[in-house]
Every structure is written in C-alpha cells, then in structure tokens.
Structure 1
Amino acid sequence: MPKINVSIIYLIKLQVLYTILYFGINSSYSQEVLLKGVVKDKTQPLYNVNILAKPKTKNTNLSFAITNDKGEYRLALQKNKSYTVTVSFLGYNSYTFEVTLIKDDVRNITLSEATEELDEVIIIEEIPMIVKKDTIIYDVKAFTTGREYKLKNILNKLPGIEVEKNGEVTVNGKKVTKMLVEGSAFFGGNSKLAVENIPANAVDNVEVLDHYSEIGFLKNFTDNDEMAMNIKLKEDKNNFAFGDINGGLGEDTRYESHAGLFYYSPKTNMNFIGDLNDTGEKSFTLNDYINFEGGASKLTQKDGSSRKNSIQEYANLINNQPALESRNRFAGLNVSSDINAKLSLSGYGIYSNVDNTYRREITNEYFFEDFSYNEEVTSDHEEDNILGIGKLSIEYSPNFKEEIFGDIQVKIIDNQSLEERFTEINTLLTDFIAETENKGLEINQDFEWHKKINARHTISLVVNNVFGTTKPKQNWNTNRPILGSLIPLSQEERFNLGQNIDLMHHTFDIVAKHYWVLNSKNHLYTTFGNNFLNQEYETKDFQILSDNTINSFDDFGFGNDLNFLINDTYFGLHYKFKIKDLTVKTGGYLHYYNWKSKQEDVFSNQEFVFLPDIDVKLEISPSENLKFKYRFLNNFTDAPEYANKFLLFDYNKVVRGNEELEYEQYQNGSLRYSKFAMYNGLIINAKIDYKRRTRFIRNQVQIEEIDQFLTPILQNTPETIVSGVGNLRKKIKKFNFKLNTRLQYATFQKNINNRNSEDERIDINVGSSVETRFKKWPNFELGYSMNFNKYNSVGVSTDFMTNEPYGNIQYAFLNNFTFTFDYKYTRFRNLETDITTTFDIANVSLLYKKNNSPFGFEISTSNLFNAEFRQNNSWSDFLISDTRDFIIPRILMLTLHYKI
C-alpha cells in the first residue's frame, strides 16, 4: 500500500476514535452525579470502608467506593436512579440508606462498633472490592459482563490492575511476580501463561497479596517486596476439568492451534497448555524463560556479591528479533498435589521448539578517534531452538512453626542455526556462512529449612547446588582470508573455519540466617554464607582444509584450557528499627574472596571486603510511602573473561581474556515514591536510580584496518548511570488516563588503540494514553509515545527519534459478537542524517460466540497493512547500528473455538 494511503487511513482512524472519545466523555459526564462524604466512628475517620450502591432498576450498573485515610468517599451514580447504599467495615455494624440524586450531594456517615465480628466470607460475596493492609480482594462479577474470554480480559477491567502486552501484570503500578491458582503456583508462578490461558468463566475472585512470602512467619523479617496474585475459582470449577481448544487455518496454508486444559480438585490440580502455529505467536518468550530459571532462594540474593553465568549466556535460545517466518511448538504440564495436611508435591514440565527465519539489513557505523568506516550488512538467518525444563518440588510443614522445601530442576537445550551474511566495507565484499550447534544440560537442586524457635528467634538454612555443561560448536565458511595478521590460514578457494567450546559449570551455595526480635521495634539479623564456583573452559579454533585435514591454531595463541575457581565466605549483620512511621534497616557484609585461574600458569588472589547497605521506608499514609536504598556491591565475571588465549568471535573480530582480572565494584542507590488513592482514582509511582561503577571491566580494543582485537581490562575511571522512571494513572468517570516517563543519563569509558575516552548516552521515553472502561459502549485506548536517543563520543554525535501514536478498540455488540482492532504507526528518524522511515502495524478480529454455546468462530487478520519491516537502532563502545528486521507478512485466519 502506498505510504500516502497509509497516512490517510491513519488519520481517519484517529479522527474516528477521537470522535468516540469526545461524545463518550460528554455522555458520561452528563448522566452521572456524585455522592460524597466522610465515614467515621465516634472518634476518628475510618480507612478502607466499603460503600456499595445497588441500583433498584435493571440495566443500571452498581457503584462502589472505598474510603481513603481521611475517611472520604466518592460514589458516581446515575442521575434520577434509585440506589440502596450499604456501608460496611470489619468490626462495625453495617449502615444502609436509600438515595436518588438529581445533582451532586454530600452524606457523612458514622458507624458503630459491632458486638460480634463480621463474617468476612459474606463481605467478599457482597462487596466488589476489599482493601486491607497488604491484600486486595476483587469480586470479578461486579466488574465484568460475562463476555470476557481469558483471565487477562477480566484483569484489565479491575481497578488498579493492568496487563501488558508481554503478559506482565501490574497492580497499582507494581509488578506481580508470582501467579497462584487456588493458592498453588501456576507453572512456577508465570503470569503470562496464566493470563493468556485461564478461561474467564472459571474465575470467581482475584486476590492480590503484597509483600508475599511463602513462609508466613518470615514475612516481617525478609523485607520481601514480592507481589503475588491468587486466582480463586468458582465452586463448580473445583472438582472437574475445564478449559478450551482452538484451531485455525489461514491463507497460504497458515495454521494455529491452542489448548488450555485444567483440572482442579481439593487435593490435586493439573494444568496443560499446548500451542502449534506458524503465525509467530509465542507461548514461551525470553521473559518466561527467565522466570523458570529457579536457583537459589531469595535469601541468598542480598549478600552484596554477584557473578556472571556463561551457561545462561549460551542458553539464550529465545530470540527477541522479529522473525520473517516462525513455527512454534509448545507444551507445558503443571501438577500439584496435597498428599496430606503436612506434605505437598508439585512439578511441571516445559517443552519449547521454535523454528525461525530472520532477514536483517544493518548499517553499522564504526567510529574511532583517528578514523571511521561504514559497514553494510545483509543477513539471512535460520534457527531451530529446543528447550526442555522439568522441575519437581516437595514442601513439608510438620507444624505451623517449621517449613521444609526441596526441589530439583533439569534443563536441556539443543539449538542449531545457519546464517548467510554479506558485508561491504569500503568496497571490500565478504560473504560469511555460519553454522552453529549448541547442546547443554543443567541440573539445579535446592533445599530450604525455616524454623520459628520461639517468639524472639527464627532461623533459616538454604542450600543450592547447580551443575551445568554446554558445548557450542561453530563452523564458518567465507570467500576471503580473515584476520590475516593473526590467523595462519592455508590458501584455499574458500576458507572453512571451525570452533569447539566446552564449558562446565558447578556452583554450591549455602547460607544460614538468624532473626532475633529484640522487641516489637528492634530486630537484629545475622547471616553466615559461602558461595563456591568452579568452571572448566576449553576452546579449539582451526581451519578445515579441502582434503578434510585440520590446520590447528593452537601454536598461534589459540586454544584455551582453563580451570577457574571462586570461593566467597561472608558474614552479615543488620539492625532494623522502627520509629513511628519510619523503618530503617542498616548493616553490611564482610566478604573473604579467594579466586584462582589455572592455565599454563596459576594466578590466584584473596581479599577481605566490607559491603555496607541501608534501607529506609517512610509510610507517609496507609496508601503513600517513600523508600530509599543504598548498597555497595561487587561482581565477579566468569571463566571466558579470564581465559588468556585467543578466541575467534566473528569474521573481523577476535577476543582474548585476562587472567589478572579482579572483581568489579559499584554503588547503587534508589529513591522510590508510590501513592495509591482509590478516593480520587490516582496512582503515582516514581523512582530515581543511581549507579556508580568505581571499578569495572571494559574491553580494550585494538584496531588494524577493519580487524578488531578485544581484551577485557579492569578500569578505575568511574562511570555513572542516573535514571528515572515515572508512572501516573488517573481515573475520571469511565476513563483512565496514563502518563509514563523514562529518562537515563549514562557515561561510559572506552579504550581503543590504547587511548581512553568517555562517552555519554541520553535516553528519553515519554508516553501517554487514555482508555475507557464502559460496559455497553465500545472500549478503546488512544496513546502516543516518543523515544529520543542521543550518543556522544569523540568526534561523533548521533541522535535518533521515534514517534509512535497508537490506538485499539474492543466492542461487544448484538449479544454474540466481539470486534477488536489495534493499530500502531511508527515514525523513525535519524536526526543526524535527516533520514526518516515510517511503518504501521494493525491487527483486527471478529469473534462470534453465544453465551450458552461452547463453540465460537473468529476471523482475524494480523499485519493488516502488510508492513515489511521494523526499524531500530543500537550503540556500543565504538559502533552505531541502524537495523531493519523484516517481519511476517499479512495473515488472514479463520479460527474455531471450543470451550469445555
């Protein structure tokens, strides 16, 4: 479609949506009036009181409100409609009155204390939303119409909850980190798999649990900032199977199929999710993979030290690059069972097989102090990636004061890829064919024991053991000799090079903690721990000659054979105290590091290091707080960085480690402000983060014509990163307004040809949107985002700007039809070259489904305007890349839905 037509369509779409917005706002405001006031007892205002207005006529929505910390409430009611208003609060007698308003009115209410405590179960059934200190409970039927299809459709209608496109769930701006169903983790707590697969008609209540801890008696000790969401099922879904199955066919033999099957009983739960498609839809992404990493308990992740894991680097099989063609096969089974009141077993298995074809065009600008050059790259790339994960967990609770956990997780990867790359540098043409094969295995074992000895003393013991191995193999075939000053290539018509890497990884970590409650305002925490790492790292680079003989590069500085060990023994002491609304936790960890690298020579070192930290929380009000954190941290890199021989990395790049490297040092501070005001529909989250690297590892780069030689070195010149994030949400009637900002300023050190320089980078992202929450009208979202990126280096400055207006609409009509449409227009501009690129992506679908029928029919089109590519940019120490990724063309699909 010509660009002018795309622009006209874009303007027409925006005009239609803005017209709907204008009339929707005017209609909403003209029909509603406000009932407001203060709820109190005899002495003071009451916080989190529930006010429910039930209409006496049909086709009128109920209204509810919750008081703020000043006892204030606001009810939006329909003009000239009669309501019965019920005011309820735990420990108080409920108060009921009737009201019919023709204009805004004020009604103050005084509650009297009850002689018997109210039944909380009855409250949950009658009141749409209950807010307590760390818990929010939603009765979903108060917010939904029955036309919702999946859990994500329900969550998007609940106040304060949002579901992002990547499946992440936020509540009042805070990310949900654990997803539960009937109290049990859903596929390890994965939110994306839950929101995309759990049927909407199975959900009864949604519980949000802030500061969530699996061990209840540790909640006040661990300073846990996790948030969990527990999905409560309807009673008729508690003892039989339910779910749905979809299948679709499209043009050019496109296909898709999906199954989500669930079985829940009082003691045993089973969930199965399966996908098979060639439309590019992924049930399992990189974020999901990270969530399944498992590993050490949260208790071991706050000791001030960290270390890199190269196995995970090599296992990065989930490619986020947009694909030109994609086949996805996914299956997951999750089972949990309560053997008895004390013993529970659970486990899951994941299988993911993704076949992708990529096409990429890149313009690389290499800039150095004395010279620069451009590289034009065209790449066609095929991948076949397989991932398998299996986990078995046991939980034993002999009594309410003791918890024992144990689990074993196994991960297997089998990845293969083929890339054909063509590059042009100053008329020098290179074609480069790269074949890669990588197989890996990782076994992860965890054991945790937690015991509350008495009211003052609690102890925890956590042990984590991980063994992993990965064996990447590469084969490169090129038309010209490469890295001629280093690699002794035998002359051939084409040059065929090989590389084998063998990396074994073993860690054993143990930590013991003692929590001592001195009194209700003062705690003392003691930690003893030891972290052990052992890595075996071998590499071979060679040339395969036409007669199949091997030309080894071992005699020319290649061929690593390294044993790398780190042992970190540490002791930590922290004091926590509370003064009114201020909570402070301060202390630190004393580490004894001992590390050794064995190659031709043995290099070893040891050192004592103290790492202090402080956490401060000020509770301004029950719905408003301020948090400050500051830490001194260390980071160890891993074996490949210490390996002191060459390794071929690309056709014009070779790397060599540095056996004399030490640990990195940096400081990290953050200040976070959050406010949630149900009274006026306002949510604010803001954070400023400061990181200062005082000692860090950077690659030293030597350039010879177009060849690059990289060696990691430890630099002591400070680097600084300052970033800020702000989110504001405001609800007005049926409209939700959002404003998001993200800013970052960073300085970076680099060393090229023995010359040090400092670069700076500025990133600015601003976005705003408005969306509606109507039950009868079409619901839509209109938004706009702007990204500005600036990179300054010696003699080089570059600026990129991306503008993205977008909109989507969902409309349920004629009782059985649901129409959805989403659209995004992207304008990408290089401000230095004044080159502008535009593209737009749109998707549309129409679903027909009767409420009393298990069948549904859907016709959909993805990439409606048949956009060819997506464009972005990236930076490194001496490289700016402008990239076009070609994407899957337009797909028209007819899908059959069946609900069990």
Structure 2
Amino acid sequence: MKSAWLLILFAGFFVNSYAQNYSIKGTVLDTAGLPLPGAVVRIKSKTDSIGVSANNDGTFTIGKIKSKQFTLSAAFIGFDTFSKQYQIEKGNSLTIENIKLKPSSNTLDAVVISGVPPVKVTEDTVSFNAKAFPVRDGDAVDEVLKKLPGVKVDKDGNVTSQGSPITKIRVNGKDFFGTDVATAIKNLPADIIKNLQFIDDYGDQAKLTGIKTGEPEKILNLTIQEDKKKGYFARASAGVGNADRYNTSLRGNSMKGERQLSFDATSANANMRGGGGDGVTTRNAVGLNFKNEFSPKFSLDAGYNFNNDRNNTISSTYTQNILQGDGQNINRLEDAQNNNKSDNYSHWMGGNLEYKIDTMNYLKISPNFNYNTGIGNSTGGSLVTQDTLFTRRESTNANSSNSFSAKTNVFYNHKFAKKGRNLSSWGNINYSNSGSDRNAYNQYINILDSKTDSLIQNQLNNQDNNNLGLNVGVSYMEPLWHKTFIEVNYNWNRTSTNNAKETYDVTAGNQVFNPQLSNIYDYQFVTNKVGMNYRYIGEKLNYTLGLNAQPAVLTGQNLSRDIKTENRTFNLIPSGRFSYKFSNQQSIDVNYWGRNNQPGFLQLQPISDNSNLQNVITGNPDLKPEFVHSVNAHYKQADWNAGKVILANFRYERTDNKIVTTKARVPGTVNQLTSYTNTDGYYTIQGDYNISKPLSAERKFTIGYSGSGQLNNNISFTDDSRIEAQNISWRQELEFRVDLKDITNFELQTAYSQNLTSYSNTSFSNRQSNRFEYGIEGRNYFFKALTLGYDFSKQINTGFDNGSVRNPTLLRLSMEYKFMKNDMAAIRVEGFDLFDQNSGISRDVFDNVIVDKQVNRLGRYFMLSLIYRVRKFG
C-alpha cells in the first residue's frame, strides 16, 4: 500500500515537473500613449487566475501560465476596463499588442494623464500629481518642480512658490534635511514621488484647532508612492575641470516603510549647484537625515548638516541719497568698490519627536542646535560726492566671529470626549550667544575747493551678546453649535538681552580704550497677550474673527552710562480670516491681522556710534513701537478638464508710527548724522499671478503667464524736511514649455521688468531702470543614452548707474552619455558661462536711498564628470 502511494506521488511530481509553462508580456497605456504605472493586469483560464501590476513604464510580464488559451483584463482608476481573449499559437511566449485604456465617461478629462487630477487646490494647499509631470529616469525632484506652475527653482536650488520662498521640505509629513531645501530636492529620485504639496503652514496649534492667524510658513511636502517605500538609491559623481575647478558629491537614500535614512556629501568649488550666487564659493558639506515611525504612537525625525563655505565676492555699489534742506535739493552720491573674503563653518542639528499617547493626547518636542564660526577680511574704497565736496575713503577690515544657539519647542494637545473640544499648551526656550572681534582701518581724504585734508581711524572692537527667550501659552477650544467654535488663548513671552561692546583706538601699535564707543547694556521685553477667536466651519464658507489684548513692557539699563529706559505700550490686535470654496476646483481666502514691532534697544539709546565718520548714528529714547495692519488674499483655481491652473495673491500693509531714519548734514563735509523717528504714511502693496495652460491633453505643450508688482511708499527726513519716495516695481513673464517623451524637454522664457522711483518734491527727477530678459533651458535626447543640455539667457539693462557688464549673455552647454546595465553610469562634459559674462546686477530702494549693485559670479569653466547610480525600489 505504501509503495502504491509513493508511486502516485512520484508520478504527480514527474507530470508537474514536465508540464508546459507559458509567459506573456505587454504594455498598458492611455489613449495619448502615456504609460499607466500600477495598472492591474489579470489573466483567467480554466486552470489559472494570476494578477500583476504594471511597472513605471507601463510594462508587465506574467509567467508560469499553464494554458494556451486565456482572457486578459487591464484596469486602472478613471479608465474603462479592457478585456480580450488570447491564444498562444507558436512557442511558449506571447507579446501582447499595446493595451490602450480609454477614460471613463464619468471621469474628468484630466485623467488622461494619470487617472487622477494633475492639480488639486484646498484652503491652504496646492497639490500636484507627480505622474502628470513626468521626467526622465534618474532625474531628481528638482526637475519636477521646474515643470509646476507658479514654482521657480534657481541655479542655487532655492525654491519659491507663488513668489514665497520654500523654507522647509517634508517627506510624508516629516522634516527632511531641516531647512536645507537645495539638498533635499536633489536627494530624492523623482519617480518615487506620488504628490508634491505646497502648504501654507500656520503651526501645530493651527493644525489642531483650525485657528490661523499671522503669516504662514511655505512648506513643500513630498509623499512617497506606497510601493516605493522599500528600497534604496545612491548616486556618486566626480568632476574635474580647468581653472582648478572640481565638483564631487555622494548622496544616498534608504527606505523601509516609514523608516528612512538619507545622506548627502559635497565638495566643490564650482558654486556647488550650477554657478548661481554672489562671488565664487568653495563648499564642503555633509548632511544626514533620519526618520522612523517606531510604532503607531511614537515617531522621530532628526537631521544634521555641516557646511564650510569659503567665498570671495567683489562688488561695485553706487548709492544715491536724496537730501533736502535749507531750501535746496542735494544729491549725495557714493561710488564704492569692495573685495570681501570669508571662511565660515556651521553645524546644525535638530528634529522632532512625536508621541501619540492615546487617541486623546498628543505630545511633540522639537529641539534645535546651531554652532557657527567664521573669519573674514575685506578691502575697499569709496568716493562720496555732495555739491563741491569730495571724500575718498579707503578701508581694510578683518573680523572673526562665533555663535551658538539652542532652542526647544514643546507642544501638547488634549482632546476631550466632546467632539471639537480640546486644550493645547506649548512652551519654548531659546538661548543664543555670539561674539565677534573686528579690526577696522579707515582713511578719509577730504577735498573742498582744491583744499585737501586727511584723517586716519584705526579701531579694534570686541563684542559679546547673550539672549534668552521664554514663551509659554495655552489655548482652549469649545464647540458652540454644529458648525461654530470659540477659542480663548493666553501667551506670555519674555526676551532678555545682554550686550557688551569694547572699542579700542589703535595708535602707533598701542590700544587705547575708547569709552565713547564702548557700551554695556541689558534690556528685557515682556508681553502678555490674551485673545479670543470665533470660528465658523461650513461646507463652502469658513471664517474666523478674533481680538487680542497685548500689554508690553520694554525695560533696559545701560550699565556703561547709568541710563535706564522703560517703554510701556498696550495694543488691541484684531484678526480675521475668510475662506470661501466656490467648488472643488476654485477657492479664495482673505486674512487680516495686526502686530506691533518694538524698536531695538540701540535705536532707543541716546548714544552716538561714530565708527563710520561719514554716518554717525544716534538712538532716540522717545521712539514708540510700530503697529502694522496687514491684509492678504489668495485665489486658487485648477480647471481639471482643461488642465489650466490660476494662482493669484494680493497683500496690503500699512504701518502706523513707522520707525524711519532722520539725517542731518554736517556743514562743510559729506558726513551725515543719522537717528530715528516715528511717522505715519508708510504702506506697501504687492500682487502676483500665475496662469498655466496645457495646449494638449498630454501636456506636450504648455504656456504660462506670470506677473508681479509692488508699490512702496518710503518716508525719511533730512534736516527736518520730510521726503516721500514712492517706489513701483513690476515684472511680466511669458513661458512656453515643450515636453516630448524621449525627444526633448525645454522651456522658452521672456520677461520685462521695471523699477521706478518718484519723489514728493517735484524738483527731484524720477529714477527708472528697465530689464528685458529672454532665454531657453532644456534637454534633447538622442538614442536613449545621449542627452544634450543647454541653458541660454540674455539680459538687456538700462537705467542702472554702475557695472562693467551691463547686458550679460550667459550660455551653458552639457552632454551626458549613459552606459552600463540599467544606465548605471554616465559620463558628462559641461561648459559653463561660455561667454564669460556672468555677473549680478540689482537695484534696491528704501527710505530716500537708491542702491545699484553689481557683484562677480563664477566665470567660464569646463568640466568632465563621471556619475554612477545604483537603485532598487519595490
């Protein structure tokens, strides 16, 4: 009997071992020919039922099929399911003709791209579906960001969204590389990203209560595809070039579920990320980032960054100071050149610990540490002209500095059994210490009516500063009715500062203590704020109305001169927020809040600082605090059918008791006496918009319009005469983008901007500068492995009053060839700034001053690089 059973088992094994197996492969696409990653492909036969998901490029393979005849189905969200019978006629395998899924009739047109809307807007978030903006294999997140409407990425890796800088990046809601945005967007490969969410973050308290006031922080949150949360990615590159240029980097990323470890190291003297930034920089940098969800209750993210930057910046500055007094109008002109060298080291470490104690209690602790040291020196000269007066200043400065800061935030929230009722509390402690040593040598040569005299000033300054900040607060929220809530809060804040400055005059090698320029003082700033907010939450309409009462006390003691200062203020600070959702694709929000700004203690001290004889500064003990009224509005629209996106922002700010400068001319010299006073009439108006519209359903061609404008009413006083300088600046930009898969990606840009300053005194002529820009940036692909990159831009500037290169033409070319299995390696040849005209030109307007500045930037070089990549996800 046992022999019979063994015979049956052996026969079954023999038959099974020699049974014929078949395999099939194919690709799932949409009607536009774009792949549908993750599409579910199944086969069914009398003996089989097997299912797989399509790869990133839409391909799939199914093996070990036992029957030649089967039914194949393919499904994807937002598309009609495909089903067809097949039979393998010859051999053991079959290649299925491309399967093209049609959009479901009850789904929006935008799903032709990825099955979900490419853009989604909510009250505080604009979310982009990464699949709707595909990039090449091996590209990092920064290449996706360049395609998004309203988003800009400069050559240094700085990111702005709707004109606001991105200050922090998160991955799945956790901080990633702290505030080093440029490193973060280069560290993650684009094809593992699911969504890119640009969030107006009002803080932990606002997330839980919905009460949002003040200016939010703009944050980019990247969500990872679920099937890509397990794997690793590493990239190493090394490049050498002429003029002793080099650029090396190593970055890696390992993920397993919610655990993620990232590493980034760079050593380069080619300005690291593409030649942007002022001066020429050599950087050595290391970054580490770790995050993990150890349990459903406990999670941690932490990061460490080290930077060593050595920079050499050569600048040319032309300053126009509009003066009025004694019945006459005067232009004070300063033409200055400066050569500055610095060598700075910085260490940053920080993170967040989150503990969900239970369903009702939440605790978050966020420590943060910084340590910085630096040395620098500068040489320069300036020529000041005022009427028939001329003063030439030659200066040499050497300095060293160090600073340390430690900050910890603790936030706790308790939810009560009644829905909507909760209690929050928080506490912050912030300590910082900084010190500096500076040796300044200045020689002044004065020329008046052919008469010349000179003065030499050589001083040594030692300064030490200590700050301690404490903040505690509590908030209680109570639901009133179904859609309304009331919140009461209290916040106490205390900042104390101790500053010691010692100045020595250096004469014939001897150091003589200068009591007039030495100063030791303490001051404390204490506020108590009590507030109440009423909130309504509707399906379309949300609003919050609030009122805060804030008494504030600023006290100080000048220990060097036995001077005491006390300044008490009381402010009623209203706030309001209005949000209306017209539809799931369109919303608007309007915010108002008020805040007070206390004058700095040095601004209050009646002590003169004559370290610069051409501009002696004295404080004003009668200064009052400023009060700022701020209104902003945000409009968002995402037309999923047409793929069009419209984003617009508006901001108005008026400052009562604005602290402005007063200047008094010293007769017979070009010198000024500067102090401070309060005045009304200062305001600023800002606005910007961005419209992006694809010209085809596949987003092969996209056109974008964007613009911004700003109006500032600046106020200053010269010899008791009030001067209003109204500055208007605006910019209009047009972009046309082409994305043809495996052929080319490029963007044509053109822009025109203007900066106009006019004065309340009509005898002063208007100042105007204009800039016209155009360029093209992109990549062309040949034979799959060869890529040609190019970045061309041209500026035509008029109205600027300094600079040797007025209309720079910049051209950067690169060629990259991929080789080895899975394109693991690449060789890259690059030529940067081929016309050798890279320079930065800018205009800044404030008070009654116009500053035109030009700085050197990294010039022409050529580089050969080797790149190696390894990766595995899934």
Q: TM-score, normalised by structure 1?
A: 0.77
Farther off after superposition, 220-229 or 787-796: 220-229
- 1:73 matched to which residue of 2? none
Aligned partners of 1:779, 1:215: CA distance in 2, in Å?
Answer: 40
Question: 2:807 aligns to what SS in structure 1?
Answer: strand
Amino acid at match of 2:859: P
Amino acid at match of 2:261: M
Amino acid at match of 1:354: D
Distance 1:649 1:714, change over 3 A: farther
Aligned partners of 2:517, 2:743: CA distance in 1, in Å?
Answer: 68
1:91-142 deviation digits (Å, cap 9, x = unpaired): xxx754799xxxxxx999469xxxxxxxxxxx99984658778589877567
1:42-97 deviation digits (Å, cap 9, x = unpaired): xxxxxxxxxxx96599x933589xxxxxxxxxxxxxxxxxxx997846xxxx7547
Farther off after superposition, 835-844 or 256-265: 835-844
Select the residue among 829, 832, 835 that pairs with 2:798. Answer: 829
1:544-578 deviation digits (Å, cap 9, x = unpaired): 1113231x332xx4322221111100111010124
Contact 1:180-1:189 at 8 Å conserved across structures: no
1:501-521 deviation digits (Å, cap 9, x = unpaired): 222111101111112122331
Give 1 or 2: higher strand fraction. 2
Distance 1:890 1:171, change over 3 A: closer
Q: 1:683 Cα shift?
A: 1.1
Contact 1:664-1:697 at 8 Å conserved across structures: yes
- 2:470 matched to which residue of 1? 508
Q: How does 1:385-396 map to 2 (within 5 A)?
A: 385-396=344-355
Distance 1:366 1:218, change over 3 A: closer
Aligned partners of 2:421, 2:303: CA distance in 1, in Å?
Answer: 35
Amino acid at match of 1:568: T
Amino acid at match of 1:361: S
Q: How does 1:241-252 map to 2 (within 5 A)?
A: 241-252=232-243
Select the residue among 289, 293, 314 that pairs with 1:334. Answer: 289
Question: 1:650 aligns to what SS in structure 2?
Answer: coil
Farther off after superposition, 369-378 or 209-218: 209-218
Answering whether residue 822 of structure 2 is matched by residue 852 of structure 1, we say yes
Q: 1:156 Cα shift?
A: 4.6
Select the residue among 819, 842, 846 that pairs with 1:876. Answer: 846
- 1:46 matched to which residue of 2? none
Q: 1:447 Cα shift?
A: 0.8
Distance 1:456 1:837, change over 3 A: closer
Distance 1:592 1:843, change over 3 A: same
Distance 1:330 1:580, change over 3 A: closer
Q: 1:177 Cα shift?
A: 6.1
- 2:705 matched to which residue of 1? 739
Distance 1:272 1:585, change over 3 A: same
Answering whether residue 197 of structure 2 is matched by residue 208 of structure 1, we say yes
Contact 2:286-2:305 at 8 Å conserved across structures: yes
- 1:273 matched to which residue of 2? 264
- 1:535 matched to which residue of 2? 497
1:469-527 deviation digits (Å, cap 9, x = unpaired): 212322111334899xxxxxxx9995421222222111101111112122331011111
Q: 1:163 Cα shift?
A: 4.9
Select the residue among 368, 371, 386 that pairs with 2:323. Answer: 368
Question: 2:603 aligns to what SS in structure 1?
Answer: helix
Q: 1:442 Cα shift?
A: 0.9
- 2:442 matched to which residue of 1? 478
Q: 1:855 Cα shift?
A: 1.4
- 2:189 matched to which residue of 1? 199
Q: 1:236 Cα shift?
A: 6.6
Question: 1:773 aligns to what SS in structure 2?
Answer: strand
Select the residue among 293, 302, 305 that pairs with 1:347. Answer: 302
- 1:322 matched to which residue of 2? 278
Question: 1:194 aligns to what SS in structure 2?
Answer: helix
- 1:380 matched to which residue of 2? 339
Aligned partners of 2:749, 2:482: CA distance in 1, in Å?
Answer: 48
Amino acid at match of 2:171: V
Select the residue among 367, 371, 382 that pairs with 1:408. Answer: 367
Distance 1:849 1:651, change over 3 A: farther
Select the residue among 682, 706, 725 that pairs with 2:670. Answer: 706
Contact 1:211-1:219 at 8 Å conserved across structures: no
Select the residue among 222, 247, 258 that pairs with 1:230. Answer: 222
Q: 1:282 Cα shift?
A: 5.2
Distance 1:252 1:272, change over 3 A: same
Distance 1:766 1:597, change over 3 A: same
- 2:788 matched to which residue of 1? 819
1:724-783 deviation digits (Å, cap 9, x = unpaired): 211111111121111111111221211112222222111111111111122133221111
Answering whether residue 400 of structure 2 is matched by residue 437 of structure 1, we say yes
Amino acid at match of 2:499: Y
- 2:34 matched to which residue of 1? 61
Q: How does 1:53-132 map to 2 (within 5 A)?
A: 55=29, 60-61=33-34, 88=77, 95-96=80-81, 109=105, 127=115
- 2:548 matched to which residue of 1? 589
Q: 1:583 Cα shift?
A: 1.7
User: Whose radius of gyration is greater, 1 or 2?
Assistant: 2
Q: 1:153 Cα shift?
A: 2.6
Task: Give 5+ residue unaligned stretches, structure 2.
Answer: 1-26, 38-72, 85-101, 448-452
Aligned partners of 1:630, 1:561: CA distance in 2, in Å?
Answer: 40
Farther off after superposition, 587-596 or 571-580: 571-580
Two-structure CA RMSD over aligned residues (Å): 3.7
Farther off after superposition, 219-228 or 401-410: 219-228
Select the residue among 605, 614, 617 that pairs with 2:576. Answer: 614
1:301-344 deviation digits (Å, cap 9, x = unpaired): xxxxxxxxxxxxxxxxxxx9610x32111111112234444223
Answering whether residue 741 of structure 2 is matched by residue 775 of structure 1, we say yes
- 2:244 matched to which residue of 1? 253
Aligned partners of 1:164, 1:359: CA distance in 2, in Å?
Answer: 21
Amino acid at match of 1:805: Y
Q: 1:184 Cα shift?
A: 3.2
Q: 1:876 Cα shift?
A: 3.2
Task: Give 5+ residue unaligned stretches, structure 1.
Answer: 1-52, 65-83, 100-105, 112-122, 286-319, 484-490
Contact 1:691-1:720 at 8 Å conserved across structures: yes
Farther off after superposition, 166-175 or 778-787: 166-175
Contact 2:229-2:257 at 8 Å conserved across structures: no
Aligned partners of 2:152, 2:440: CA distance in 1, in Å?
Answer: 46
- 1:518 matched to which residue of 2? 480
1:236-273 deviation digits (Å, cap 9, x = unpaired): 7625x431111100012211111112222346422111
Amino acid at match of 1:827: I
Amino acid at match of 2:514: F
Q: 1:408 Cα shift?
A: 2.0
1:425-453 deviation digits (Å, cap 9, x = unpaired): 35543211111222111111111111112
Distance 1:510 1:895, change over 3 A: same
Question: 1:230 aligns to what SS in structure 2?
Answer: strand
- 2:94 matched to which residue of 1? none
Question: 1:659 aligns to what SS in structure 2?
Answer: coil
Contact 1:247-1:896 at 8 Å conserved across structures: yes
- 1:791 matched to which residue of 2? 757
Report percent identity of matched pairs. 16
Q: How does 1:758-773 map to 2 (within 5 A)?
A: 758-773=724-739
Select the residue among 177, 183, 187 that pairs with 1:187. Answer: 177
Contact 1:251-1:893 at 8 Å conserved across structures: yes
Question: 1:418 aligns to what SS in structure 2?
Answer: strand
Q: 1:170 Cα shift?
A: 7.0
Contact 1:861-1:893 at 8 Å conserved across structures: yes
Distance 1:476 1:217, change over 3 A: closer
- 2:869 matched to which residue of 1? 899
Q: How does 1:152-191 map to 2 (within 5 A)?
A: 152-156=142-146, 163=153, 165=155, 167=157, 179-188=169-178, 190-191=180-181
Answering whether residue 606 of structure 2 is matched by residue 644 of structure 1, we say yes
Contact 2:790-2:812 at 8 Å conserved across structures: yes
Distance 1:223 1:788, change over 3 A: same
Amino acid at match of 2:766: S
Aligned partners of 1:615, 1:245: CA distance in 2, in Å?
Answer: 48
